[in-house]
Chains A and B, each alone.
Chain A
Amino acid sequence: MSLQNEEMDVVLKIKRYSPEKGYWWQEYKLKVDRFTQFTEALRRIKSEQDPTLAYRASCHMAVCGSCGMKINGEPRLACKTLVMDMAKKYGSNVITIEPMDYFKPVKDLIVDLDEFYQRMYKVKPRLYPHKDVLEGIVEQRLKPEDQRELWKFAQCIWCGLCVSACPVVVIDQQFLGPAAHAKGYRFLADPRDTITEERMKILIDSSWRCTYCYQCFNVCPRDIEPVTAIKKTRAYTRLAKEKTSVTQTGEKHIEAIFNSLLESGKLEEAKVYLSTYGLLGSIKDFIYLFQSGKVKYALVKEKPVENISEIRKILTGDNK
């Protein structure tokens, strides 16, 4: 147990906001030690220097999800981040704190999360067990390995950081967002749940709207990997009875990638594009390529990689 303490003078530059004055930056100087969390730094500013500063914080141990904000541009929980760690990481004792992106500002570091909560409610975030279970007539059991799998995705603390970092929620209203997908998958995959059909209807189309940019994976303070939940939700597509055009395009895209790899061991993007969107769907883009003189890249004929038979064995599961 080697607790090395040290102290440091830092400047916290906080981006403030009020409906009357708009945005402004304000600087606070304070001394921190090796163990000072940003929530504690903010609490000290508020009680010792400037009581007008507004922010949210509650548990200071990363389970309540109140204190999401941007620290030196990184979406983080303030409680789970030590001031000195950020100063060292960026080699500067001047650190910026801003409200989370995407959400409407209310005051200083407080943003309006109503829209975020609406996203969470859309996935029906609760178990719908069998009637007999609910009435206590039969007991339900859960395998330890199922518990572990579900618990990973159930640990979402509704902090909103992943949604604030997601580029798709900004442009696609139909995309439920990473947190809602993690929550949705947690119930979709629960063997005790009875509304699987309805959940697939809610989740599958949306799951194909994710671009796999991994921002949610990077910022989640609970290491939930919402993007993994989205991938796992896509695997349910083959069980879905009705498929939207987004879902169908997604399936075609996967099939095209598979075929491209099977054929050449390479990802032939032009071919994949053509198979996914069809000749008619691609025509506009090809005209654009033609006009910009890039069509030659699209027409490159790839030679199969050397050990293509090995790749085919892996892809088809044929190990004979």
Chain B
Amino acid sequence: MEKVSYDVVIVGAGLAGLMAAHEVASAGYNVAVISKVFPTRSHSAAAEGGIAAYIQGNSDPNDNPDYMTYDTVKGGDYLVDQDAAELLAYKSGEIVMLLERWGALFNRQPDGRVAVRYFGGQTYPRTRFVGDKTGMALLHTVYERTSGLGSVDFYFEWFAWELVEDDNRIRGIIAFDMRNMVPVFFKAKAVVIASGGMGMLYRHTTNSYINTGDGYAMALRAGAALKDPEFVQFHPTALYPSDILISEAARGEGAVLRNVKGERFMARYAPKKLDLAPRDIVSRAILTEVKEGRGFPGGYVGLDLTHLGEDYIKERLALAYEAAKSFAGIDATKEMIPVRPAQHYYMGGVDVDITGRNPDLIGLFAAGEAACVSVHGANRLGSNSLLETLVFGRETGRTVVEFLKSYTEPSSDIDKEAEKMIDSAYDVVKSESGVHFGEILEKLRDTMWDYVGVFRDENGLKTALSEIMKLREDMKKMYVLDKSKVYNTEFYNALELKNMLDLALVIATSALNRKESRGAHYRLDFPERDDQNWLKHTIAYLRGNSVEITYKPVKMTKWKPEVRVY
């Protein structure tokens, strides 16, 4: 077994991971960043519409960070930890201006200052943007900056597999060099999970192929809890049928949703905010239209941009225009874009506080979509995810630096433990014959979409759970056809599937457990929000084949729950 030593290992090289790495490395500690892909290929690149920020002197004069916090809290259906949302809002302007100084090419007002647009659920417009490729622009900026430090080692196209833990204390991580299958034990004083989301669990998702929930599963197996795992966001406007994201910026710029009769149906569901209602509400509205026979054949509705004008569309919504053209053969300047909901974001994540620290394992930290701080509560507002990655990536980096200052080396030896974990990777694919990952994967994605999707109920969730249990059994017969030691992607796909099945079990169990509807978690059999019994965070641990659930109170500062209408 090969071994290397670092102060900190960060899993994931998207915005949250890179920001944390920048912070830790700048403080003089040595950092390894492990990523399945080259950093600029991380899923952060796919974020489109923008990053929310209240900037002093460059925002609507009536706006202030408290309104921003309120919008976030209400958007999240009051499951948001309000101290976290306050931190997010109050640091938003500072972090956007930091990125500006680092060279991010934000769209500009005529006077040269950073421009702004509307997004769903915002009282005042506060989304800052780079066309509709904001994530890509920011990711490149932060990567270029961080790689320039020279003190961060990037292990890209490496597969992080298991956390090594001893006496509730993180001791490092096992990862494979994908190019030659060599397993390496990265000894570390602290590990930051910043490995992003899990969209591949669902048949329809806007996520990248790499989003298989590895970080969540890794944390679960090491004994850390996930917070609010039942909350899965569906984006209302994914391109039909390819599920490519059509940014919410389109509606922010004035695009309108229409059913097959040409009606602006959002008037029925959110009379005040219309098409700019939060994502959970719009997603349910679209599927309700389709279910009641007012969708287009195939099950989609139209997103109408045509009145915005060709030049405006091509500058501000270039990617939406391009995607519709390339992938659906639609000219968005002349015709409506066919859209339907698809899985988009995971509000749940590794349980951490507002400093990024996990309470279960000493030395475990998490940030970005992999973490649940919780700033998004039951439903995330558009433009808040890029903001979260940067603000909490940096906060987490700072916490890790503090942690390292008082770190003492434990005396026990954990090399044996690490050896066992390497064997566990091969255990996943031990059989000589049986099934390969694809067979199980496709069934899992359908099950999650059909029964743990936009609409849920007890029967469906129980069906999902029994199917997931069966697939976990099937996995024991999983084998690998590719015996090569060079870039064996089949082997890694099999490990990813193991991660997905661990996570699926936790999501479905938590969804069955929460008997109310709140934000993105919508139960047909319990359609009302129930603050009396359910205004609390789910805390879920994976114990072998079962899930242990406890609760945590939601942190309230200024905002009492009120009925959520738009």
Interface pair A2/B335, CB less than 8 Å apart: yes
Cβ contacts under 8 Å, B242 to chain A: 35, 37, 40, 60
With most chain A CB atoms within 10 A of its CB, the pick from B113, B337, B488, B489 is B489
Q: Give the docked Cα–Cα distance between A37 and B108 (Å).
A: 35
Cβ contacts under 8 Å, B110 to chain A: 144
Interface pair B103/A106, CB less than 8 Å apart: no
Cβ contacts under 8 Å, A127 to chain B: 102-103
Cβ contacts under 8 Å, A141 to chain B: 108, 111-113
Q: Which residue of A lies closest to B100 (CB)?
A: A140
Interface pair A126/B109, CB less than 8 Å apart: no
Q: Which B202-257 residues have a C-beta within 8 angstroms of A? A: 208-210, 240-242, 244-245
> Known contacts A58-B208, A61-B245: does B302 contact A51 (CB below 8 Å)?
no
Q: Nearest Cβ in chain A — how far from B143, in angstroms?
A: 9
Cβ contacts under 8 Å, A140 to chain B: 100-101
Q: Give the docked Cα–Cα distance between A121 and B335 (Å).
A: 43
- A54 close to B (CB within 8 Å): yes
Q: Which residue of B lies closest to A145 (CB)?
A: B108
Q: Nearest Cβ in chain A — how far from B522, in angstroms?
A: 27
Interface pair B489/A54, CB less than 8 Å apart: yes
> Known contacts A37-B327, A51-B438, A140-B101: does B482 contact A126 (CB below 8 Å)?
no
Q: Give the docked Cα–Cα distance between A37 and B436 (Å).
A: 24
Name the contact of A126 in the complex, choosing from B106, B145, B245, B302 (C-beta under 8 A). B145
Q: Give the docked Cα–Cα distance between A285 and B487 (Å).
A: 50
With most chain B CB atoms within 10 A of its CB, the pick from A19, A51, A106, A193 is A51
Q: Nearest Cβ in chain A — how far from B342, in angstroms?
A: 12
Interface pair A63/B136, CB less than 8 Å apart: yes
Interface pair A110/B487, CB less than 8 Å apart: yes
Q: Give the docked Cα–Cα distance between A245 and B222 (Å).
A: 61
Interface pair B441/A47, CB less than 8 Å apart: yes
Q: Give the docked Cα–Cα distance between A37 and B37 (Å).
A: 21
Q: Nearest Cβ in chain A — how far from B530, in angstroms?
A: 38
Interface pair A154/B140, CB less than 8 Å apart: yes
Q: Nearest Cβ in chain A — how far from B236, in angstroms?
A: 17
Interface pair A80/B326, CB less than 8 Å apart: yes
Q: Give the docked Cα–Cα distance between A311 and B126 (Å).
A: 53
- A150 close to B (CB within 8 Å): yes
- A317 close to B (CB within 8 Å): no
- A64 close to B (CB within 8 Å): yes
Chain B 80-104 per-residue mask, 1 if CB under 8 angstroms from chain A, else 0 = 0000000000000000011011110
> Known contacts A3-B240, A52-B481, A129-B101: does B40 contact A158 (CB below 8 Å)?
yes
Q: Give the docked Cα–Cα distance between A40 and B241 (Å).
A: 12
Chain A 44-80 per-residue mask, 1 if CB under 8 angstroms from chain B, else 0 = 0011101110111111111111100000000000001
- B63 close to A (CB within 8 Å): no
Interface pair A51/B490, CB less than 8 Å apart: yes
Q: Nearest Cβ in chain A — how far from B331, in angstroms?
A: 10
With most chain A CB atoms within 10 A of its CB, the pick from B41, B144, B241 is B41
Cβ contacts under 8 Å, B136 to chain A: 63, 155, 157
- A23 close to B (CB within 8 Å): no
Interface pair A143/B105, CB less than 8 Å apart: no
Interface pair A134/B241, CB less than 8 Å apart: no
> Known contacts A1-B302, A143-B112, A190-B103: does B209 contact A57 (CB below 8 Å)?
yes
Cβ contacts under 8 Å, A51 to chain B: 436-438, 480-482, 490, 493
Q: Give the docked Cα–Cα distance between A60 and B338 (Å).
A: 18
Chain A 27-47 per-residue mask, 1 if CB under 8 angstroms from chain B, else 0 = 000000011010110010011
Q: Nearest Cβ in chain A — how far from B137, in angstroms?
A: 7
With most chain A CB atoms within 10 A of its CB, the pick from B145, B209, B242, B337 is B209
- A288 close to B (CB within 8 Å): no
Name the contact of B487 in the complex, choosing from A3, A54, A125 (C-beta under 8 A). A54
Cβ contacts under 8 Å, B42 to chain A: 64
- A147 close to B (CB within 8 Å): yes
- B486 close to A (CB within 8 Å): yes
Q: Which residue of A lies closest to B260 (CB)?
A: A1
Q: Which A132-162 residues have a C-beta within 8 angstroms of B? A: 133-134, 136, 139-144, 147, 150-151, 154-155, 157-158
- A107 close to B (CB within 8 Å): yes
- A18 close to B (CB within 8 Å): yes
Q: Nearest Cβ in chain A — how far from B40, in angstroms?
A: 5
Q: Which residue of A lies closest to B479 (CB)?
A: A51
Q: Which residue of B lies closest to A52 (CB)?
A: B482
Q: Give the docked Cα–Cα distance between A107 and B488 (Å).
A: 9
Q: 19 extra interchain contacts, Cβ-Cβ under 8 A, other than A54-B482, A187-B103, A193-B103?
A: A34-B329, A51-B480, A54-B489, A58-B208, A59-B43, A59-B46, A61-B46, A63-B136, A64-B37, A64-B42, A66-B38, A80-B326, A106-B486, A126-B144, A129-B101, A142-B112, A143-B112, A154-B105, A158-B38
Residues of B within 8 A of A (CB): 37-38, 40-43, 45-46, 97-98, 100-103, 105-113, 130-131, 133, 135-137, 140-141, 144-145, 147-148, 179, 208-210, 240-242, 244-245, 296, 298, 302, 319, 322-323, 326-330, 335-338, 436-439, 441-442, 480-482, 484, 486-490, 493
Residues of A within 8 A of B (CB): 1-4, 18-20, 34-35, 37, 39-40, 43, 46-48, 50-52, 54-66, 80, 82, 106-107, 110, 113, 117, 121, 124-127, 129, 133-134, 136, 139-144, 147, 150-151, 154-155, 157-158, 187, 190, 192-193
